[in-house]
Amino acid sequence: MGSVHEAPDPSELRLLAEHAARETGRLLRTHADRGLRGLDTKSTATDMVSDADREAEELLQAILLGARPFDGLLGEEGAGVEGETGLRWVVDPLDGTTNFVFGYPQWAVSVAVEDDRGTLAGAIYDPSRDELFSAHRKGGATLNGQRIHVRATTEIGQALVATGFGYSSKRRAAQAAQVASVIAEIRDIRRGGAAAIDLAWVACGRLDGYWESGLNAWDWAAGSLLVVEAGGRWACAPGPLDADQAVAACPGVFDHLSALVA
């Protein structure tokens, strides 16, 4: 291991992110097979957390800081470690907890590492499909080792777009009204319930675009890099619903989608 301040190799960070995401996915599959334990709620009655979330975050922290003990770390379930290297891991141990609880196979592990310029490397692992997406800055994006690219769609009316909803009833109502204004202008809308997978699917061409308000850094840190490295566009800025709004899409529809949801 080099010195604390030695410039990291982004490809090595990517490999570490892939390893951590896969190992955590295996842990979550074990929880899924044996049944849920320690189920509780967080911000609202619909915002759930379980022992699986907590143990997954503990494992991520052990793997990442075990390999790079001087880095920082931010996790959805409360992990917060100050680092000394200028790098910080941003992790969502279980994106799509509601889906996980209900046995709906749309949940993932998201692992990213950022520097002062944004996300440097990251991985998203979907255990239900055994699909591992990863990328590093200027290194391209892959799915199970094969290079991926966004779609070449240029007409917003032909675009298949995903979105998501927050946990408060007030925000959900506002988001539903936004969907009503958008759906007539596009091919169709999908709502999978896991932002990380939505972003990964934009990157590999299963979706033309995605937008959502009120996300946290761990929701999009890895996925945003995947989109950009796969040739797409990404932005997260103050939006119309009193929260930051994320938009990701293939270049041919990004501007039009951004205008529709603004």
DSSP code of 127? T
User: Cβ(233)–Cβ(254) under 8 Å?
Assistant: yes
Return the structure tokens found at 231.
């040739």
Q: Is the pLDDT of residue 49 over 70?
A: no
Q: Is the pLDDT of residue 53 over 50?
A: yes
Cα–Cα distances (Å) from 182 to 159, 162, 212, in that order, read: 11, 11, 13
Residue-wise pLDDT for 193-252, tens only, equals 999 999 999 999 999 999 999 999 999 999 999 999 999 999 999 998 889 999 999 999
Q: Most distant CA pair in the chain: distance in Å?
A: 55
DSSP code of 4? T
Q: Is the pLDDT of residue 80 over 90?
A: no
Q: Can you give the pLDDT at residue 47?
A: 44
Q: Check residues 90 and 4 and name the one with the higher pLDDT.
A: 90
Strand stretches in 86-153, DSSP E? 88-95, 108-115, 118-126, 131-136, 141-143, 146-147
DSSP code of 63? H
* φ/ψ (deg, to 5) at 77: -90, 20
Residue-wise pLDDT for 114-168, tens only, equals 999 999 999 999 999 999 999 999 999 999 999 999 999 999 999 999 999 988 8
Q: Can you give the pLDDT at residue 39?
A: 58
Q: Is the pLDDT of residue 94 over 90?
A: yes
Domains belonging to the chain, first-starting first, are 10-147 (3.30.540.10), 156-261 (3.40.190.80)
